[in-house]
Amino acid sequence: MKKIAILQSNYIPWKGYFDLIGSVDEFVLYDDMQYTKNDWRNRNLIKTPNGPAWLTIPVRQESLAQTIRETRIANPLWHKQHWKTISQNYAKAAYFKEYKDFFEELYRTATEEYLSEINRKFLLAINGLLGITTTIRCSSEFTLAPGKSERLLALCQELGATTYLSGPAAGDYLDVALFTAAGIEVEWMDYRGYPEYTQLFPPFAHGVSIVDLLFNEGGNAPKFMKGAHR
């Protein structure tokens, strides 16, 4: 039995993204998809005294057909501003001091030229903090088939999957019958029912970056998640 998930890379994503990774045997970063502006690929939310605020990596969008992995960073100094903003807003969080050096070094060395490389770097580092040991692959390692569902199915088949775990947003287009005919079961990730945790600057917000959970709950963070890595 082998469970696979396939999803575009996001920048410091929310806890549900890491739960999806932690619930499968192999996770594929689907960065051969078209880059979408004003999406989660290059930005995410943190808590501030004035409410949730965006941290956005500036990128160059040179064509509408540009893929995520073709997307370059526009300002190489972005990481300095992001770390400064995080430090200012989480300095009083219970576990900020515990993780300060880790994240400061992560941001200091975030000098990669491409967005997908930055996202992967942060995903792998944060997986380590959460105890997630899932194998991470990149879609660029594979020959991709045409068609949305067909492409996902071909990736699953190449990886020897018996189950494909999908995010709920794919319910609008995923051809489940295609997977069933190929002998691959489709499961849907359920993001409902997350418990609240200690969080600065009420009201509570579930949809912020995982860094919020880590700075506020430290090593207890997995207790507020629902993945198999708990």
Structure confidence by residue, pLDDT tens digits, 122-152 = 999 999 999 999 999 999 999 888 888 999 9
pLDDT above 50 for 228 = no
Output the CA torsion 220→225→226→227 (10° steps).
Answer: -80
Q: First CA to last CA across the chain, in angstroms?
A: 20
Does residue 229 lie in a domain region? Answer: no
Domain annotation covers residue 80: yes
**135 within domain boundaries:** yes
Question: Does some domain include residue 102?
Answer: yes
Residue at 154 is within a domain: yes
37: in domain: yes
Report the pLDDT value the prediction gives residue 50, as an integer from 0 to 100. Answer: 95
Q: Over 60: is that where the pLDDT of 120 sits? A: yes
Q: What's this model's pTM, rounded to 2 decimal places? A: 0.95
How many domains is the chain partitioned into structurally? 1
Question: How far, in Å, are 39, 168, 171, 185, 227 from residue 24 at the CA level?
Answer: 24, 16, 19, 13, 9
Give the mean model confidence (pLDDT) for residues 24-41: 95
Q: Does residue 230 lie in a domain region?
A: no
| pLDDT computed for residue 227 by the predictor | 63
- Other C-beta atoms closer than 10 Å to the C-beta of 187 total 13
pLDDT at residue 24 tops 70? yes
Write out the residue range of the structural domain in which residue 33 sits: 3-224
Mean pLDDT for all residues in the chain: 95
Does residue 159 carry a pLDDT above 80?
yes
Predicted pLDDT at 229: 46
How is residue 141 annotated by DSSP?
Answer: G
Cα distances from 58 to residues 38, 61, 78, in angstroms, run: 11, 10, 7
Do the domain assignments include residue 114?
A: yes
Q: Grade residue 169 by pLDDT with cuts at 50, 70 and 90.
A: confident
Region of poorest pLDDT, from 29-33, 84-88, 225-229: 225-229
Quick check: 4 pLDDT over 80? yes
